[in-house]
Chains A and B, each alone.
Chain A
């Protein structure tokens, strides 16, 4: 059997007196699309923040591709191949698409101690290619992200993750505040992840969206995982019963 891409083992997290994660163990296999559902405060965000390096767990261990890891910051998470797309916080609206795609990972023509000259031609060329690869067609790479619609922004964020060959894409409420048409587009992006051999974790409180694009549903409530079953063996009503 293949090594799972993510194995969380008995994770615990406290926030000043609140027990946010209680003994959470979760295994995600390569190429799987997992829907993580639950009410506000159920612990979804805490789990995701631990996987994306924003917080560290108080107890428990994480294995990525079979190796024990400690994810201390977002940078390390990205280096491990875990890329998180937040609802609002993944793009800088006042910057161009090309600059956004490469934030923190700029190609440099030369550098000294990690600082150097950006290869703008490469950034323009590759950002256009990356966006085309997710079937998104946008104006020039010089357009500001602030001019894009919500769905297009999510598309650019996904294109960015693809471009950097992320192994796992974590999407935190990517369909919030989107129109129906744009939501369909984002759901399409998630469905296409599998073709690119990328594992997806889709967090949402909208069951319809999750059921449309995931293979497996994991539900959380009060800091614990209360439900974990393949999509084919359950229904929206059943999952609701556990929340």
Chain B
């Protein structure tokens, strides 16, 4: 029993999962069942996978001990690049590949600039946030207004399957991939070591710079892909798309139990964290609470989550379980 408690306490994403289930229950009762209606679930499951994909990549980067504020701008820029290219006559899938290549390049720059010049990634990516957002507007206004081609392959991204969309499958696929990368491969071991104790990782000969840069690239890639999925769903790229969503991704990671200091947590936590945010957003509307309280609730939740996670980790350590030996 004690052992169970300890596992539970050491895995904050499980705690977040319990909170998620409790919130779903609460809002279902408050809204007289409306919350779990087919229509509402469909609504939640449109936006949720997009933001969760972004949170996944961000979670991986945070576990490796770095930070990326530019993901919201990346979310906006990738679809604009894609649509500009298709508007200029390029086939969709080639434009898609090029847009993702741009994401990888931005991630590479974020990482290399931070590490080469020893700047906190918080600052580098704050700069990148402005640069990319500016590029969004400049590219959007130059030449013909980029638009999503009418024959865009929505089947591959956003067509509904029952009450979910294809984007949910992308989210699940990426979650499994990144989870396995982190838990089962040697690269994951290096990333966790790099985030958990940088000096130790270096002294054990791990190429910490390269590990971090790869994580930056995966993070940008996820953000750009998420933006593209959103634009395929709403069918029009806007230069302001994704403004501020980086903060939701950060909130999701923290609520899901990923420590800001790096090394601790699990990318699945980022998904659960994002689910909690979406459930609160939708649940408040469904139960007719003034929507302006949404950000208040998220803010409060972030603080509670961090304090609770630290407390749980301390408790778990105090319980010291004997398992033979």
Bound-complex Cα distance A91 to B193 (A): 9
The stretch that binds B, out of A4-12, A20-28, A116-124, A199-207, is A116-124
Within 8 A of B (CB), among A98-147: 99, 102-104, 106, 108, 111, 114-118, 120, 137-140, 144, 146-147
Q: Is A211 an interface residue (CB 8 A)?
A: no
Q: Is B196 an interface residue (CB 8 A)?
A: yes
- A182 to chain B minimum Cβ distance, whole angstroms, is 17
Closest to B265 in A: A94
Residues of B within 8 A of A140 (CB): 323-325
Residues of A within 8 A of B190 (CB): 103-104
Within 8 A of A (CB), among B161-209: 184-190, 192-193, 196-197, 199-206
The stretch that binds A, out of B90-98, B140-148, B314-322, is B314-322
Contact residues of A: prevailing secondary structure: loop
Tell me if A92 and B205 are in contact (CB < 8 A): no
Interface size on B, residues (CB 8 A): 29
Contact residues of B: prevailing secondary structure: helix
Partner of A137 from B186, B196, B201, B325 at Cβ < 8 Å: B325
Residues of A within 8 A of B193 (CB): 92, 95, 99, 103-104
Q: Is A84 an interface residue (CB 8 A)?
A: yes
Interface size on A, residues (CB 8 A): 38
Tell me if B185 and A117 are in contact (CB < 8 A): yes
Residues of B within 8 A of A106 (CB): 186, 189
Tell me if A52 and B185 are in contact (CB < 8 A): no
Tell me if B196 and A95 are in contact (CB < 8 A): yes
Tell me if B200 and A90 are in contact (CB < 8 A): yes
Residues of A within 8 A of B264 (CB): 94
- A59 to chain B minimum Cβ distance, whole angstroms, is 24
The stretch that binds B, out of A70-78, A185-193, A220-228, A232-240, is A70-78
Q: Is A54 an interface residue (CB 8 A)?
A: yes
Q: Is B79 an interface residue (CB 8 A)?
A: no
Q: Is B263 an interface residue (CB 8 A)?
A: yes
Bound-complex Cα distance A77 to B206 (A): 13
Partner of B322 from A53, A99, A103, A139 at Cβ < 8 Å: A139
Tell me if B205 and A73 are in contact (CB < 8 A): yes
Residues of A within 8 A of B320 (CB): 139, 147
Tell me if B189 and A90 are in contact (CB < 8 A): no
Contacts A103-B189, A103-B206, A117-B184 hold; do A146 and B200 have CB atoms under 8 A apart?
Answer: no
Tell me if A92 and B184 are in contact (CB < 8 A): no
Tell me if B197 and A92 are in contact (CB < 8 A): yes
Residues of A within 8 A of B323 (CB): 139-140
Contacts A95-B263, A103-B193, A139-B323 hold; do A118 and B205 have CB atoms under 8 A apart?
Answer: no
Tell me if A116 and B186 are in contact (CB < 8 A): yes
Residues of A within 8 A of B325 (CB): 137-140
Bound-complex Cα distance A120 to B184 (A): 8
Bound-complex Cα distance A88 to B201 (A): 12
- B109 to chain A minimum Cβ distance, whole angstroms, is 23
Bound-complex Cα distance A111 to B202 (A): 22
Would you list 18 pairs from A and B whose C-beta atoms are within 8 A, ordered by A residue?
A: A54-B203, A88-B199, A88-B200, A89-B197, A90-B200, A91-B200, A92-B192, A92-B193, A92-B197, A93-B197, A94-B196, A94-B263, A99-B189, A104-B190, A104-B201, A108-B186, A118-B186, A139-B325
A residues in contact (CB < 8 Å) with B? 52-54, 73-75, 77-78, 84, 86, 88-95, 99, 102-104, 106, 108, 111, 114-118, 120, 137-140, 144, 146-147
Which 9 residue pairs are nearest across A and B when measured between Cβ atoms? A75-B205, A89-B199, A106-B186, A94-B196, A94-B263, A92-B196, A74-B205, A92-B197, A104-B204
Q: A74-B204, A104-B205 are in contact. List 15 more A-B contacts (CB 8 A).
A: A89-B202, A90-B203, A92-B193, A93-B197, A94-B264, A95-B193, A95-B263, A103-B201, A104-B204, A106-B189, A116-B185, A117-B184, A140-B323, A146-B317, A147-B320
